Structure formats: C-alpha cells, structure tokens
Structure 1
Amino acid sequence: MFETLIRGATVVNADGLSRGDIGIAAGKVAALIAPGEAAEAGTVINASGSFLLPGLVDAHAHLREPGLTQKEDFSSGTHAAALGGVTTVLDMPTDEPWTATSEQLADKMAMAEGRIHVDVGLQAVVSRDLSLVPRLLDRAPVSFELFTADVPDAFLFATLDAVAEALKAFAGAETLIGISPGDQSILTGATARDRSGSIAAFLDSRPPLAEANGIARAVIAAASAEARIHVRQINSELGVETWNRLRGMADASVETTPQNLFFTADDYEAQGANLKASPPLRSPHDVDALRAALGAGLIDIVATDHAPHAPVEKAAPYTAFADIPGGMPGLQTLLQTMLRLVEEGLIVLPDLVRMCSTNPAERFGLGRRKGRVAVGYDADLLILDPRQSSTIANADQLSRAGCTPFDGWKVKARLTNVFLRGREIVREGRPVGAAQGKIVTRES
C-alpha cells in the first residue's frame, strides 16, 4: 500500500512523455503503475488531463542569508520557490560574509535548518587562499564558484594564469566549478574611458567581447587542468558562438536565464532598475541568437540568477546606472516563463524538464535522487493543468522584492500541486504545511 497515489497524469521526463500512475512511499517514487492498474494508497489524487513533472532544480539563486536578509532570507526565498515549482534551490555563496571557509559553510547549513520550504544545496566560493579548498570539499557543497570580474579582490581571478592555477586545486575532486565569464581588463578599461554613469556606459563595460573571452578562458583552463566547469549565464551571439566552438574541449556545461531570453537592452528605458543585473541585457539580435541556441539544444541549463533586493534599494537614487543593485527575483516565475517558450514552440515540455530539472540535478551532484520521475528518486513532483491558465502578478510574489519583471504575463497552464519528497507543499496554487526542506549535499 502506498502513502500517496497520483492517477491519470501524463508523466514528463527529459526523454519524453509517458502514461502511468505514480505510487509514493517514504518520500520516494516507489512505483510506476500502468494506467488504471489496481493499487491502494492512503491518499489518491486524480490528475487526469494534467502533466506530472519532476520538481525544478534552480542551479543559480541568491537566498541572501546570512547578512543580507533585508533582501531575502531562507524562508521567504524558498517559499517563493515552492509556489513556483522549484523544489531544489542551489544557493550561491555571495552573502555577507561570502561562503569561503568550511566554518562559514557549516554555519550557513545550520541557519537553514527548519526554515526552508524546499531542499537547498549550498555552493562555496573559491577565494585567493586556495588552501581552504580541501576542508570545503569535505563538506560536499554542490559546487564551487570562481569569479573573473567585478568582485572583491579576495575572490578575483582576473587572468588565465589565475583561473588555471585555481582549477588545479580541484585536481581529482568530484565537484563542479561555476565560472562567470567576465573580463576585468575590459571592465576597468571601459570604466576609465566613460565615466558618465549612463546605461550605455554600463553596457560598454560588460560587452559581448568580455563574455566571449571569459568563456574561452574558462574552457581552455578547464581543459588544461582537467576540471569540471559550468559557465554561468551567457546571453550574446558572440558568447554563444564561442561556446559552440569550444565546448567540446573540456568537461563543461553552460546556462542562461529567462530574462535573457525575453528582454533586451531597449527594455531598460521602461523598467530601468528592475531589470538591472549582470551580465547586462543585450540587443534583439543577441536575444535571437540565444533563443536559436536554446532551441538547438546548445544550452544545458536554464536557471534564474534569483537575486532580489528590497524595493527601497532598487528605488533609491544612484549617480550611475552601474551602481544600482544588480539582480531581480526569479524563483517563483521560472516554470511560468519556460512555459511561455513552450507556448511559442521554441521548446517542448521534455526540453523544459531537461534544462530546468534533469541537467542541473546531474551536473551539480544530485542526479541519483533529483530531476526525474523514476522509481527510487525523491518524490519531488509537479502537477500542471494545461486546461487552466495563470497570470504572473506582482501581488502574488512571495520574495521580499515584492515584484517581478514578468508582471502581467499570461501562461496557458496552471501549477496546481507541488510535492517535496512525497509531501504536498502547494495545493491549488497556495502553500500548505510547515517548512519541510532539507540541505542536500553533493553525492559521493
């Protein structure tokens, strides 16, 4: 007898669609049952006409705790994630302090205990003190993060030599190193040439050339060091072309974000501070190239770079556009924005699962328990009703940012139920139950 039985849904995995009922026990998918086959359960859910997806895994999010909780915290951020169908959040290390030591990582794990509404994997930052790496590896973070531009000196690896030497510290380690493909030399040079503080100056300081050079440097250094890397959000035609030519040289994957697939630099005029982030938004031509790459399967992961700020922080006056706090919320809207791409015909539902669930789970060391509707996997499940519609609205956002750049967008589907390890955490679009999330670590 199962604890829960979900009947009648069409199951969506990265490799396609299938029909079958899902038996859940002890937090796992215990059985895939032929449609209509006899089975007993304490709770039976009729999902006829709906799709059943694995919970999404957001590989790039900033939950802002410790130290920046006026922007977000573990509770508010994971509450928003649950409502959006993200059942696993991979949290970046750029809080206050940055998660750079074993002790800081342990402290962060303890802070989250009992307060997270979905599962959370923590990422550690690579600092210039590479002697810290072995003890961090002992705590099995889901990944490490290495920065090449626009960060404090203690975490800046601005040259090919610096990146290559840092990657050597991970020789033989079963982990993944995320790399943001910036270029400090271009940032420094452009800023010196144009001190106007305009939007144009911000764009010129972080051009496609910087992204492309950052991608090339990351892939070549990874090939030399035999390291596993993940290139953070790319969004330019030059970056996509560089990635396409070099990606086979190393064990490397790449991501982009929904905002980079829908907005262009022209949208700064209307939304301004709400869209300001790094990398900056690009030209319509760049967006077209990025969308083509997504449709062709060249993008491995779509993540959000969920990076909320308090409304007063975004609304404050700033001398330069570059000084506006960068980032926007995204956890609650990841599924809906990806469904818009399905509506447009750019991708299909299995592509959505591949890029937002299966690939991030596998790449970040959670692939034996997350990212699939399969026997033995965590019963992190979404019921999606295509007969209903939904509208993204600022008023519904649970992030402390209280807004979304996708406000007013309509989606021809509705997320009705979310399960985390077999327990229902969202019902009819509303959160239910106490915080049940756990800290997850990289599989050995």
Structure 2
Amino acid sequence: MFETLIRGATIVNAEGLDRRDVGITGGRITALVAPGEAAEAGTVVDARSCFLLPGLVDAHAHLREPGLTHKEDFSSGTHAAALGGVTTVLDMPTDEPWTATAEQLADKMAMAEGRIHVDVGFQAVVSRDLSFTPRLLELAPVSFELFTADVPEAFLFSTFDDVARALRNFDQADTLIGISPGDQSILTGSSERNKAGTIAAFLDSRPPSAEAGGIARAVLAAAVTGARIHVRQINSELGAKVWSRLRDMADASVETTPQNLFFSADDYETQGARLKGSPPLRSRRDVDALRAALGAGLIDIVATDHAPHAPAEKAAPYASFADIPGGMPGLQILLQAMLKLVDEGLITLPDLVRLCARNPAERFGLGKRKGRIAAGYDADVLIVNPRQSSTIADADQVSRAAYSPFNGWTVKARLTNVFLRGKEIVRDQVLIDPAQGKPVRRES
C-alpha cells in the first residue's frame, strides 16, 4: 500500500513521456505502475490529463542570507521557489560574509534548518587562501564557486595561472567548480576609459569578448588540470561560439538564464533597473544566437541567477547606470519562463526537464535523488495542467523584490500542485505545508 498515489497523468522525464501512475511512500517514489492498475493508497491524487514533472533544480540562486536579509532570506526565497515548482535551490556563496570557511558553511546550513520551504544545497566560494578547502570538502557543498572578475580581491582569480592553481587544489576531490567567466583586465580598462555612466557605457564595460575569454580560460584550465567545471551564465553569440568549439576539451558544462533567452539590451529603455544585472543583456542577435545554441543542445542547464534587491534599492536614483544594484528575482517564474519556450517550439517538455531538473541534479551531485520521476528518487513532483493558462504578475510575487521582469506574460499551462519528498506543499499557488525543506549535500 502506498502513502500517496498520483493517477492518470503523463510523466515527463528528460528521456521522454510515459503514461504511468506514481506510488509514493516514505518521501520516495516507490513504484511506477501501469495506468489504472489496481493499487491501494492512503491518498489518491487525480491528475488526469495533466503532466507530471520532477521538481526543478535551480543551480544558481542567491537567497541573501546571512547578512543581506533586507533583500531576501531563506524563508521568502524558498517560498518563491515552491510557488514556482523549484523544489531544490542551489544557493550561491556571495552573502555577507561570503561562504569561504567550514565554519561559515556550517553556520549557514544551521540557519536554514526549519525555515526553508524547499530543499537547499549550499555552494562555497574558493578563497585565495586555499587552506580552507579540506574542511569545506568535509561538509560536501554541492559546488565550489571560483570568480575571475568583478569580486573582492580575496576571491579574485584573474589570470590563467591563478585559475589553474585553484583547480589543482581540488585534485582527486569529488566536487564541481563553478566558474563565472570574465576578464578583469577588460573591466579595469573600461572603468578607466569610460566615466559616462550611461547604459551604453555599462554595456561597453562588460563586452562579449570578456565573457568569451573567460570561457576559454576556464575550459583550458580544466583541460590541463582535470577538474570538473561548470561555466556560469553565458549570454553572447561570441561566448556561445567559443563554448561550442572548446566544450569537449574538458569535463565542463554551461548554463544560461531565462532573462538572457528573452530580453535584449533594448529592453533597458523600458524596464531599466528591473533588468539591470551582470553580465549585461546583449543585442537581439546575441539573444537569437543563444536561443539557437539552446535549441541545438549546446546549453546544459538553465538557471535563474535569482538575485533580488529591496524595491527601494532598485528605485533609488543613481549617478550611473552601472551603480544600480545588479540582479533580479527568478525562482518563482523559472517554470513559466521555460514553458514559454515550449509554447514557442524552441524546446520540448523533456528538454525542459533535462535543462532544469536532470542535468543540474546530476552535475551538482544530487543525481541519485533529484531530477527525475523514477523508483527510488525523492518524490519531488509537479502537476502541470496544459488545459489552463497562467499569467505572471508582479502582485503575485512573494520574493522581497516584489516584481518580475516577465510581468504580464501568459503561458499555456498552469502549475497546480507541488510535492516535496511526497508531501504536498503547494496547491493552486498557495503554500499549504510550509518549512518542509532540508539542506542537501553533494553525494558521490
């Protein structure tokens, strides 16, 4: 007898579609049974004519705790995630303080206990003091994050030698190194040359060449060290071309974000601060090239880079466009944005699961538990009704940012139910069983 049986839906995994009923016991999927096959359960959920997707895994999010909780915190950020069908959030280490030591990582995990509405995996930053690494590895963060530009000196690896030295520090370690591609020399030069403070100046300060060079450096450093790397949000035609040529040289994966697949720099004229982030939005040609790369299977993961700020911070006057706090919310709309790409025919539902569930789970050490609907996996399940539409609205956003750049967009499907390890936590866009999330760690 199952604790819960979800009947009548079509299961969507990265490999394709299947008509099965899903039996759940003890927080795990215990069986996939033929449609209508006799089975007993304490609770039966009727999901006829709906799709069942595994809960999404957002590999790039900033929950802002500790130290920046006026922007977001564990509770508000994971509430947004739950409503958006993201059942596992991988939290970046750039809070206050940055998560650079074992003590800081342990403290962060302890802060999350009993306050998170979905599961959260934590990422640690690679400090120039590499002696912190062994003890951090003992806590099994889902990744380590290495930065090559635009960060404090204590975390800056600005040359090829710096990057390779850091990657060699993880020799024989079963982990993943996330690398944000950039070129500090270009950033420094741009800052010195251009003081105009305009949108154009901001774009010029972070050109596609900086991204492309950062990608090349990351992949080559991984090739010579044998490290496993994940390249953070690319968004330019030049970057996509460099990635497509070098990707097979190393154990490497790459991500982009929904905003980079829809918005161009032209949209700054209408949305301004709401869309300001880094890397900056590119030209429409870059957007088209990135979408072509996604459609061709060259992009491994789509993640949000959820990076909210308090509304007053975004609305305040600034002398320079570059001074506007960079980042925007994304956790609550990840599924809807990806469904929009399905509506447009750029990807399929199995592609959505591959990009936002299976691949991030496998890449970040959670692939034995997350990212697919199969026996033995955590029962993180989304029920999506394709007969109903849904509209993104600022008024519905629960992140402390209180808006979405996708405000007013409609998609031809609706997320009706979210299950986390077998417990229904969201019904009809209402959080009905809060604080069921747990910190999760990288598994071999």
Question: Shorter-chain TM-score: which interval?
Answer: over 0.9
Say whether residues 1:242 and 2:242 are aligned partners.
yes
Q: CA deviation at 1:250?
A: 0.3
1:60 maps to amino acid: H
Q: CA deviation at 1:66?
A: 0.0
CA distance in 1, matches of 2:176, 2:198: 36
Residue 311 of structure 1 corresponds to 311
1:59 maps to amino acid: A
CA distance in 1, matches of 2:201, 2:99: 31
CA distance in 2, matches of 1:434, 1:170: 37
The TM-score with structure 1 as length reference comes to: 1.00
2:377 maps to amino acid: Y
CA distance in 2, matches of 1:58, 1:64: 15
1:436 maps to amino acid: Q
CA distance in 1, matches of 2:427, 2:312: 32
Q: CA deviation at 1:200?
A: 0.8
The 5 Å alignment of 1:45-444 reads 45-444=45-444
1:121 maps to amino acid: G
CA distance in 1, matches of 2:441, 2:169: 20
Structure 2 residue matching 1:248: 3-state secondary structure: helix
Structure 2 residue matching 1:202: 3-state secondary structure: helix
Runs (5+) with no aligned partner, structure 1? none
CA distance in 2, matches of 1:428, 1:42: 22
Contact 1:419–1:426, Cα closer than 8 Å, also in 2: yes
Contact 1:390–1:413, Cα closer than 8 Å, also in 2: yes
CA distance in 2, matches of 1:155, 1:428: 43
Structure 2 residue matching 1:272: 3-state secondary structure: helix
Contact 1:32–1:375, Cα closer than 8 Å, also in 2: yes
Residue 19 of structure 1 corresponds to 19
1:351 maps to amino acid: D
Instruction: After superposition, give the CA deviation of every residue in 1:80-119 in whole Å (9 maximum; x if it has no partner).
Output: 0000000000000000000000000000000000000000
CA distance in 1, matches of 2:156, 2:317: 28
Contact 1:89–1:118, Cα closer than 8 Å, also in 2: yes
Structure 2 residue matching 1:384: 3-state secondary structure: strand
CA distance in 1, matches of 2:168, 2:48: 52
CA distance in 1, matches of 2:32, 2:239: 42
CA distance in 1, matches of 2:266, 2:44: 49
Structure 2 residue matching 1:338: 3-state secondary structure: helix
CA distance in 2, matches of 1:205, 1:434: 43
Instruction: After superposition, give the CA deviation of every residue in 1:7-44 in whole Å (9 maximum; x if it has no partner).
Output: 00000000000001000000000100000000000000
2:154 maps to amino acid: A
Structure 2 residue matching 1:370: 3-state secondary structure: coil
Contact 1:191–1:201, Cα closer than 8 Å, also in 2: no
Say whether residues 1:44 and 2:49 are aligned partners.
no
2:391 maps to amino acid: T
Residue 7 of structure 2 corresponds to 7
CA distance in 2, matches of 1:203, 1:403: 24
2:167 maps to amino acid: L
Q: CA deviation at 1:258?
A: 0.2
CA distance in 2, matches of 1:71, 1:407: 19
Contact 1:387–1:412, Cα closer than 8 Å, also in 2: yes
Q: CA deviation at 1:353?
A: 0.1
CA distance in 2, matches of 1:252, 1:437: 29
Structure 2 residue matching 1:317: 3-state secondary structure: coil
Q: CA deviation at 1:294?
A: 0.3
Structure 2 residue matching 1:415: 3-state secondary structure: strand
Q: CA deviation at 1:320?
A: 1.1
CA distance in 2, matches of 1:401, 1:339: 23
CA distance in 2, matches of 1:57, 1:90: 7
CA distance in 2, matches of 1:33, 1:398: 37
Instruction: After superposition, give the CA deviation of every residue in 1:291-341 in whole Å (9 maximum; x if it has no partner).
Output: 000000000000000000000001111111111100000000000000000
Q: CA deviation at 1:204?
A: 0.7
Q: CA deviation at 1:174?
A: 0.4
CA distance in 2, matches of 1:290, 1:97: 34
Q: CA deviation at 1:429?
A: 2.1
Q: CA deviation at 1:366?
A: 0.1
Structure 2 residue matching 1:65: 3-state secondary structure: coil
CA distance in 2, matches of 1:242, 1:347: 23
Q: CA deviation at 1:433?
A: 1.3
Cα-Cα RMSD? 0.4
CA distance in 2, matches of 1:323, 1:179: 24
Structure 2 residue matching 1:121: 3-state secondary structure: strand
2:145 maps to amino acid: E
Q: CA deviation at 1:434?
A: 2.5
CA distance in 1, matches of 2:234, 2:14: 22
Structure 1 moving runs of 4+ over 2 Å:
none
1:232 maps to amino acid: R
Instruction: After superposition, give the CA deviation of every residue in 1:350-377 in whole Å (9 maximum; x if it has no partner).
Output: 0000000000000000000000000000
CA distance in 2, matches of 1:318, 1:93: 27
CA distance in 1, matches of 2:317, 2:126: 33
CA distance in 2, matches of 1:434, 1:418: 12
Runs (5+) with no aligned partner, structure 2? none
Instruction: After superposition, give the CA deviation of every residue in 1:170-213 in whole Å (9 maximum; x if it has no partner).
Output: 00000000000111000011111111111111111110000000
